[in-house]
């Protein structure tokens, strides 16, 4: 009986990690799943009422970062190195890229484009984390890309 309960618990946790890591299955998009995950996070940012407060956006992002590390690790064990189905890293990154920016459509689009660029190019130390195995590496390269995107957007706003 204990083994059966253990199996059920393990199965439930695996399912939870799958839903979380794929951002409610958006990670199963047939192509450009990272861009899809970023777009879903951008849509959530745009329509959720609390996102005008940069501190709350950052706290949500950090909460999902810590929840996402074991989820990404679980999905990596199932699908292999840095699987494309894991898009929670893109969602977390998108929210970090948007934190403390004015909630104006062209600024959010700029942050989205810069985040996607930095996530693809992976400037150091993002490349270092991208080469790591495990949930931490999967999540952290996007965090670094997001920080770069946010800083560039902050500079652009100050200059303009």
Q: At what angle do helices 105-121 and 135-159 cross, to 10 degrees?
A: 130
Residue 9's pLDDT is 57
DSSP letter assigned to residue 27: G
Cα 141 to Cα 78, 126, 134, distances in angstroms? 20, 4, 12
110: region left, alpha or beta (phi > 0 left; psi from -120 to 50 alpha): alpha
What integer is the mean pLDDT of 28-47? Answer: 96
Q: Which two tokens stand for residue 13?
A: 């946790």
Residue environment code for 49-75, b if the CB has 16+ CB neighbours within 10 A, otherwise e: eebeeeeebbebbeebbebbbbbbbbb
What's the pLDDT tens digit per position in 101-149?
999 999 999 999 999 999 999 999 999 998 989 999 999 999 999 999 9
Model confidence pLDDT, tens digit, residues 55-106: 999 999 999 999 999 999 999 999 999 999 999 999 999 999 999 999 999 9
């Amino acid at each position: 009986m204990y083994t059966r309960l253990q199996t059920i618990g393990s199965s439930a946790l695996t399912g939870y990690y799958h839903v979380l890591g794929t951002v409610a299955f958006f990670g199963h998009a047939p192509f450009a799943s990272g861009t899809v995950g970023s777009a879903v996070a951008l849509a959530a940012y745009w329509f959720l009422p609390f996102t005008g407060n940069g501190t709350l956006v950052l706290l949500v992002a950090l909460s999902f970062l810590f929840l996402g590390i074991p989820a990404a690790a679980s999905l990596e064990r199932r699908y292999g190195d840095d699987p494309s189905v894991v898009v929670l890293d893109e969602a977390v990154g998108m929210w970090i890229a948007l934190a403390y920016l004015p909630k104006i459509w062209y600024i959010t689009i700029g942050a989205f484009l810069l985040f996607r660029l930095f996530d693809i190019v992976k400037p150091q130390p993002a490349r270092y984390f991208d080469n790591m195995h495990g949930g931490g590496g999967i999540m952290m390269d996007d965090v670094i890309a997001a920080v770069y995107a946010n800083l560039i957007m902050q500079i652009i706003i100050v200059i303009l």
